[in-house]
Structure 1
Amino acid sequence: MKHHIAAMIQKHDIILFDAVCVICNGWANFLITHDQNSKFKLASAQSALGEQILQYYGMSTTHYTTMVVILNGQLYTESTALLKVMQHLGLPFSLMNAGYLIPRPIRDFLYRRVALNRYRLFGQTHDCLIPSAENKQHFLEHSIRES
């Protein structure tokens, strides 16, 4: 199992998102729209595949509090994860690289305030973001099946 996950992580740049969070689903939809080349593959943190990835990196599968971005096999979380994704989306989104000028502890503090209160601030959803024929290339599960 670990070998399978390791191979997948080397092959794909991955974003794990909280599938029950309204803002996180909005983020996933934003990526589907703006990641024109499908650089990043999306996976729900609550899916079996998402849980396997979290376990591989030694992260909790029951207390999901941050977006996880895996870029070239390297794990990024919190504000750095957000900035890594934005820099790969091109202009105007890559202008957010200016965020690196803010010291990481301050960036992560602000990120955590939103992340820890995301359900209260934005709500929860019971509607899963389901891959469609038009957007399936953005989802990790589909990419694995096609390999």
Structure 2
Amino acid sequence: MALLIPASFGNLAVSRRAHVSLTVSASANPRTFHRESVDWVKETASFFDQDKRPIMLFDGVCNLCNGGVKFVRDHDRNRRIRFEALQSEAGKRLLMRSGRAPDDISSVVLVEKDRSYTKSEAVLKIMEYIDLPFPQLAFFMQFVPLFARDSVYDNIANNRYAIFGWSESCEI
């Protein structure tokens, strides 16, 4: 299933503590943005041409998120996951592929070749990729209802800067 996003995202200025600016162009003339749609799955297919590993998108200026990336790297001895900051150009394109706004840094996202996961589903899927005992923990945590898992996730995500702080740039 292809996700079509209007290319009218045009010139987008993002300002969320990282002060990142980006011009999104899907190989289209800016004057034709209103007439065309962009198939973001097709536009980002090259991310999976040479390397089939999933990509974990994370808030590059969030200390909690950077700690999460370090934790996953330390527990992923087989290097089964790649990483990309949500604020990067590649991160923004993969966000749009996942059906999210390019400036949405509210959730960790795991992007596989054919599917994307957000919030608690992304965390559980990431746990399946890393070393023992995390795949087993993910198996049992999946029985907790999604609304309950996402409620806890949202509460932490909405307060992550206040609790864990943020940095001026991505540390990973």
Q: Tell me if TM exceeds 0.5.
A: yes
Q: Which has the higher contact order (CA 8 A, sep 6+)?
A: 1
| 1:7 maps to 2:46 | yes
Q: Name the SS of the counterpart of 1:101 in structure 2.
A: coil
Q: Is contact 1:15–1:41 with CA below 8 Å preserved after alignment?
A: yes
Matched, 1:124 2:163: no
The residue correspondences of 1:49-128 to structure 2 (distance < 5 A) are: 49-97=90-138, 98-128=140-170
Instruction: Report the count of equivalent residues.
Output: 130
| Range that drifts further, 111-120 or 6-15 | 6-15
Give the Å deviation of 1:90.
2.9
Q: Which has the larger radius of gyration?
A: 2
Distance 1:80 1:63 in 2: 17
Q: Which runs of 5+ in 1 are unaligned?
A: 131-147
Q: Over residues 32-88 of structure 1, what are the superposed CA-to-partner deviations in whole Å (9 max), with x where a residue is unaligned? A: 211111111000000111011112223112231000001342100111110111122
Unmatched 5+ residue regions in structure 2? Answer: 1-25, 27-39
The letter of the residue matching 2:114 is G
Which 4+ residue blocks in structure 1 deviate beyond 6 angstroms? none
Question: SS in structure 2 opposite 1:8?
Answer: helix
- Distance, in Å, in 2 between the alignment partners of 1:109 and 1:81 is 14
Contact 1:9/1:73 (8 A) holds in 2: no
Deviation at 1:5, TM superposition (A): 0.8
Question: TM-score, with normalisation over the residues of structure 1?
Answer: 0.80
- The alpha-carbon deviation at position 6 of structure 1 amounts to 1.9
The answer to which structure has the higher helix fraction is 1
| C-alpha distance in 1 between matches for 2:89 and 2:114 | 19
